[in-house]
Structure 1
Amino acid sequence: MEFLVRFESSPPADLSSEERDRLRASERARANELRAEGVLKRLWRVPGRRGVVGLWEADDATVLHDALASLPMFPWMDAVVEPLATHPQERQ
Protein backbone atom coordinates (compact mmCIF):
# COMPACT_ATOMS: atom_id res chain seq x y z
CA MET A 1 0.00 0.00 0.00
CA GLU A 2 1.31 3.46 -0.87
CA PHE A 3 1.20 6.48 1.43
CA LEU A 4 1.91 10.15 0.84
CA VAL A 5 3.63 11.50 3.95
CA ARG A 6 4.14 15.22 4.55
CA PHE A 7 6.28 16.19 7.51
CA GLU A 8 8.38 18.83 9.15
CA SER A 9 10.92 18.16 11.87
CA SER A 10 11.79 20.72 14.52
CA PRO A 11 14.44 19.42 16.90
CA PRO A 12 15.03 21.52 20.02
CA ALA A 13 16.88 24.75 19.36
CA ASP A 14 19.25 24.11 22.26
CA LEU A 15 20.92 21.07 20.65
CA SER A 16 24.64 21.51 20.20
CA SER A 17 25.90 21.71 16.63
CA GLU A 18 27.65 18.36 17.15
CA GLU A 19 24.42 16.71 18.32
CA ARG A 20 22.49 18.30 15.44
CA ASP A 21 25.07 16.97 12.94
CA ARG A 22 24.95 13.50 14.54
CA LEU A 23 21.15 13.52 14.35
CA ARG A 24 21.16 14.52 10.67
CA ALA A 25 23.70 11.81 9.82
CA SER A 26 21.67 9.19 11.72
CA GLU A 27 18.48 10.32 9.95
CA ARG A 28 20.14 10.03 6.54
CA ALA A 29 21.53 6.58 7.34
CA ARG A 30 18.15 5.29 8.49
CA ALA A 31 16.39 6.80 5.45
CA ASN A 32 18.89 4.99 3.21
CA GLU A 33 18.10 1.71 5.00
CA LEU A 34 14.37 2.29 4.47
CA ARG A 35 15.07 2.98 0.78
CA ALA A 36 17.01 -0.27 0.49
CA GLU A 37 14.08 -2.11 2.14
CA GLY A 38 11.69 -0.58 -0.42
CA VAL A 39 9.66 1.29 2.20
CA LEU A 40 10.80 4.80 1.28
CA LYS A 41 10.22 5.30 -2.44
CA ARG A 42 10.71 9.04 -3.11
CA LEU A 43 11.37 12.28 -1.22
CA TRP A 44 10.80 15.89 -2.22
CA ARG A 45 11.61 19.13 -0.43
CA VAL A 46 8.96 21.80 -0.09
CA PRO A 47 10.47 25.04 -1.45
CA GLY A 48 10.66 27.83 1.12
CA ARG A 49 9.89 25.51 4.04
CA ARG A 50 11.59 22.88 6.15
CA GLY A 51 8.96 20.44 4.96
CA VAL A 52 9.37 17.15 3.15
CA VAL A 53 6.91 15.13 1.07
CA GLY A 54 7.57 11.44 0.65
CA LEU A 55 6.09 8.46 -1.13
CA TRP A 56 6.24 5.43 1.14
CA GLU A 57 5.14 1.83 0.67
CA ALA A 58 4.15 -0.49 3.51
CA ASP A 59 1.81 -3.42 4.06
CA ASP A 60 -0.45 -1.29 6.26
CA ALA A 61 -0.58 1.85 8.39
CA THR A 62 0.97 0.11 11.39
CA VAL A 63 4.03 -0.96 9.37
CA LEU A 64 4.33 2.59 8.03
CA HIS A 65 4.09 4.02 11.56
CA ASP A 66 6.86 1.68 12.71
CA ALA A 67 9.06 2.80 9.81
CA LEU A 68 8.46 6.49 10.56
CA ALA A 69 9.02 5.91 14.28
CA SER A 70 12.39 4.33 13.48
CA LEU A 71 13.67 7.66 12.16
CA PRO A 72 15.91 9.47 14.67
CA MET A 73 14.00 12.74 14.12
CA PHE A 74 10.62 11.11 14.85
CA PRO A 75 10.29 12.64 18.35
CA TRP A 76 10.26 16.10 16.73
CA MET A 77 8.32 15.20 13.59
CA ASP A 78 4.90 16.57 12.73
CA ALA A 79 3.55 14.25 10.03
CA VAL A 80 0.39 14.03 7.95
CA VAL A 81 -0.19 10.66 6.29
CA GLU A 82 -2.50 10.08 3.33
CA PRO A 83 -3.17 6.49 2.22
CA LEU A 84 -3.30 6.31 -1.58
CA ALA A 85 -5.62 4.27 -3.78
CA THR A 86 -4.99 3.49 -7.43
CA HIS A 87 -6.88 5.73 -9.84
CA PRO A 88 -8.92 3.83 -12.47
CA GLN A 89 -6.83 5.38 -15.28
CA GLU A 90 -3.70 3.85 -13.73
CA ARG A 91 -5.12 0.33 -13.93
CA GLN A 92 -4.76 0.10 -17.70
Structure 2
Amino acid sequence: MEYLVTMTTHVPDGTSDAAVQDIRTREAAHSRELAAQGHLLRLWRPPLQPGEWRTLGLFAADDAEQLEEVLASMPLRIWRTDDVIPLSPHPSDPALTSS
Protein backbone atom coordinates (compact mmCIF):
# COMPACT_ATOMS: atom_id res chain seq x y z
CA MET A 1 0.00 0.00 0.00
CA GLU A 2 1.18 3.54 -0.65
CA TYR A 3 0.83 6.55 1.62
CA LEU A 4 1.22 10.27 0.99
CA VAL A 5 2.76 11.83 4.09
CA THR A 6 3.03 15.55 4.79
CA MET A 7 5.94 15.93 7.18
CA THR A 8 6.18 19.28 8.98
CA THR A 9 9.26 19.96 11.09
CA HIS A 10 9.46 22.55 13.86
CA VAL A 11 12.95 22.95 15.30
CA PRO A 12 12.75 24.11 18.91
CA ASP A 13 14.03 27.62 19.62
CA GLY A 14 17.56 27.60 20.92
CA THR A 15 18.60 24.45 19.03
CA SER A 16 22.18 24.89 17.84
CA ASP A 17 23.01 24.97 14.14
CA ALA A 18 25.34 22.02 14.74
CA ALA A 19 22.50 19.94 16.24
CA VAL A 20 20.21 20.79 13.31
CA GLN A 21 22.91 19.89 10.79
CA ASP A 22 23.60 16.60 12.59
CA ILE A 23 19.93 15.59 12.51
CA ARG A 24 19.56 16.63 8.85
CA THR A 25 22.65 14.63 7.88
CA ARG A 26 21.32 11.55 9.68
CA GLU A 27 17.87 12.09 8.13
CA ALA A 28 19.35 12.17 4.61
CA ALA A 29 21.36 9.00 5.21
CA HIS A 30 18.35 7.19 6.68
CA SER A 31 16.13 8.35 3.81
CA ARG A 32 18.57 6.73 1.37
CA GLU A 33 18.33 3.49 3.39
CA LEU A 34 14.51 3.61 3.34
CA ALA A 35 14.58 4.18 -0.43
CA ALA A 36 16.88 1.18 -0.91
CA GLN A 37 14.46 -0.93 1.17
CA GLY A 38 11.54 0.19 -1.01
CA HIS A 39 9.73 2.15 1.72
CA LEU A 40 10.50 5.68 0.52
CA LEU A 41 9.39 6.10 -3.08
CA ARG A 42 9.58 9.87 -3.57
CA LEU A 43 10.14 13.14 -1.70
CA TRP A 44 8.99 16.63 -2.69
CA ARG A 45 9.95 19.91 -1.10
CA PRO A 46 7.27 22.53 -1.84
CA PRO A 47 8.03 26.26 -1.63
CA LEU A 48 8.27 27.29 2.01
CA GLN A 49 8.04 30.31 4.22
CA PRO A 50 11.19 31.36 6.13
CA GLY A 51 11.82 29.00 9.04
CA GLU A 52 9.34 26.41 7.75
CA TRP A 53 10.35 22.87 6.83
CA ARG A 54 7.78 20.80 5.00
CA THR A 55 8.29 17.70 2.89
CA LEU A 56 5.81 15.53 1.04
CA GLY A 57 6.75 11.87 0.90
CA LEU A 58 5.38 8.90 -0.98
CA PHE A 59 5.93 5.81 1.16
CA ALA A 60 5.18 2.12 0.69
CA ALA A 61 4.30 -0.14 3.62
CA ASP A 62 2.27 -3.29 4.17
CA ASP A 63 -0.08 -1.47 6.53
CA ALA A 64 -0.44 1.58 8.77
CA GLU A 65 1.50 -0.11 11.59
CA GLN A 66 4.53 -0.73 9.36
CA LEU A 67 4.31 2.84 8.03
CA GLU A 68 4.40 4.16 11.61
CA GLU A 69 7.53 2.09 12.28
CA VAL A 70 9.17 3.52 9.15
CA LEU A 71 8.25 7.13 10.04
CA ALA A 72 9.30 6.69 13.68
CA SER A 73 12.72 5.47 12.54
CA MET A 74 13.52 8.79 10.87
CA PRO A 75 15.79 11.12 12.91
CA LEU A 76 13.77 14.30 12.27
CA ARG A 77 10.69 12.67 13.83
CA ILE A 78 11.74 14.19 17.16
CA TRP A 79 10.75 17.62 15.79
CA ARG A 80 8.19 16.59 13.19
CA THR A 81 4.47 15.98 12.84
CA ASP A 82 3.18 13.69 10.09
CA ASP A 83 -0.18 13.79 8.32
CA VAL A 84 -0.83 10.50 6.51
CA ILE A 85 -3.19 9.88 3.61
CA PRO A 86 -3.56 6.23 2.56
CA LEU A 87 -3.70 5.94 -1.23
CA SER A 88 -5.75 3.35 -3.07
CA PRO A 89 -5.40 2.13 -6.65
CA HIS A 90 -7.31 4.10 -9.27
CA PRO A 91 -8.61 2.52 -12.49
CA SER A 92 -6.52 4.91 -14.61
CA ASP A 93 -3.22 4.22 -12.81
CA PRO A 94 -0.55 3.42 -15.43
CA ALA A 95 0.50 0.29 -13.55
CA LEU A 96 -3.04 -1.08 -13.83
CA THR A 97 -3.60 -0.15 -17.49
CA SER A 98 -0.24 -1.09 -19.01
CA SER A 99 -0.21 -4.13 -21.27
Indicate the SS of the match to 2:24: helix
Aligned residues: 92
Q: Name the CA distance, whole Å, in 1 between partners of 2:26 and 2:33.
A: 11
Q: Is the 8 A contact 1:11 1:73 kept in 2?
A: no
Q: Name the CA distance, whole Å, in 2 between partners of 1:11 and 1:67.
A: 21
Amino acid in the other structure paired with 1:39: H
Amino acid in the other structure paired with 1:36: A
- Residue identity over aligned pairs, in percent, reads 39
TM-score (structure 2 length as normaliser)? 0.87
Deviation at 1:13, TM superposition (A): 2.0
Amino acid in the other structure paired with 2:68: H
**RMSD between superposed Cα atoms in Å:** 1.1
Alignment match, 1:81: 84
Note the alpha carbon deviations across 1:45-86, whole angstroms, 9 max, x for none.
111242111110001111010000001111211111000000
Deviating 4+ runs (over 4 angstroms): none
Q: Name the CA distance, whole Å, in 1 between partners of 2:89 and 2:68.
A: 21
Note the alpha carbon deviations across 1:18-56, whole angstroms, 9 max, x for none.
111111101111111101101000000111242111110
Q: Is the 8 A contact 1:26 1:72 kept in 2?
A: yes
Q: Name the CA distance, whole Å, in 2 between partners of 1:18 and 1:8.
A: 20
Structure-to-structure mapping, 1:57-76, within 5 angstroms: 57-76=60-79
Larger-Rg structure: 2
- Structure 2 alignment gaps of length 5 or more: none
